[in-house]
Amino acid sequence: MSADARIAELGLELPAPPAPAGVYKPVVVVGNMAYVSGHGPLQSDGTLMTGRVGDSVDDQHGYEAARQTGLAILATLKAHFGTLDRISRLVKSLGMVNCTPDFEQHPAVINGYSELMAGVFGPEAGVAARSAVGMGSLPGNISVEIEAIFELTDE
């Protein structure tokens, strides 16, 4: 099943793709690789999920923020390529969690994103190399930021 079809089957709502908030491109394609800039948890109403995990928000909020960040990344990819079916596989992700210094559940938070990608692209193509780290702060106090690298199919 295609990724576009899975989005529909899963009933997922992609937010409008976020506009760059600085001097960068949301997606850069080199050869058959798409490098996706860091995205935050943009919701369909245009707001961002904010709060520091382990302080003002809990682990579940962080998990949901990571999932929402994945939806924002998918929205950017779909806007850039016109379809998610250009994606062959997810290769690498870096998940950053805005959290307290003693917070230790970064991988569990970023699983919100990883489980979404596995659901959309399948257990082989949607599961990739990954890092999940804690940050002392993130722009606008967003709860999660994720960047990713995708391999593309031939056009």
- pLDDT attached to residue 5: 94
- pLDDT tens per residue across span 2-38: 999 999 999 999 999 988 989 999 999 999 999 999 9
Q: Is 35 exposed, middle or buried (0-12, 13-18, 19+ CB in 10 A)?
A: middle
- pLDDT attached to residue 21: 85
Q: Pull the structure tokens for residue 131.
A: 């890092």
3-state secondary structure of 127: coil
Neighbour tally for 133: CB within 10 Å: 12
According to the CATH classification, is domain 40-99+110-137 in 3.30.1330.40? yes
Low-confidence ranges of the chain (pLDDT < 70): 155
- pLDDT attached to residue 154: 85
Segments in 11-103 forming alpha helices (H): 59-81
- pLDDT attached to residue 45: 96
